[in-house]
Chain A
Amino acid sequence: GAVVSQHPSWVICKSGTSVKIECRSLDFQATTMFWYRQFPKQSLMLMATSNEGSKATYEQGVEKDKFLINHASLTLSTLTVTSAHPEDSSFYICSAISPGTGGGGTQYFGPGTRLTVL
């Protein structure tokens, strides 16, 4: 149980275009999802917290107009990188909190999306 999928697993796009990444919780309902960015050999950087039915909460320094997050249902959150530029190239990972049993909602992660902007 507690499986999270991401699509696509990798994408290459031209500078100036927009890219949408989907994050789905496959076997549980997730009221809260998170979007992270990870640079090579570096730690996770939380970009935003996505709550179903409400606006995402962005971390300081993350441009909300550039990284659009929509959490329209209890199983789907999307991240759209608008007007992508080479510096947006990165590994994007989503996670979802599983209600779980016995307390302690655990974040379960998707496999990640490798974005390369040419």
Chain B
Amino acid sequence: AQSVAQPEDQVNVAEGNPLTVKCTYSVSGNPYLFWYVQYPNRGLQFLLKYITGDNLVKGSYGFEAEFNKSQTSFHLKKPSALVSDSALYFCAVGWPYAGNNRKLIWGLGTSLAVNP
């Protein structure tokens, strides 16, 4: 079965330190890879995506993600965390141009807490 794993339910990091939120996937073919962030009682906001090309993708709010095909991973990173980065982060994979099946496969989410 195709799946996306976010192995950590929660990540705690001190403000100013680098942060990593992990994502691995098990799907066939070459999917598109996405990261979204959700603040409390809000919808999801798109952070970044990988389609092809450079393995390091830069996105919104200083976030970036590194695609590793051999490890089937797409970890989200930020060099220096802010308290305002505290939120729920979702990794997703899919084929948004795949005809009638354009849905994404979602990870369960990782709650990031950045401590002052």
Contact = CB atoms under 8 A, between A and B. Distances in A.
B46 A105 contact: no
B75 to A, nearest CB: 18
Nearest to B51: A104
A94 B32 CA distance: 20
B44 A95 contact: yes
Interface residues of A, number: 29
B13 to A, nearest CB: 19
Given A43-B109, A104-B32, A93 B43 contact: yes
A106 interface: yes
A104 B103 contact: no
Given A97-B96, A104-B51, A106-B49, A46 B103 contact: yes
Given A43-B108, A107-B96, A49 B102 contact: yes
Interface of B: 32, 34, 36, 41-46, 49, 51, 90, 96-97, 100, 102-104, 106-109, 111
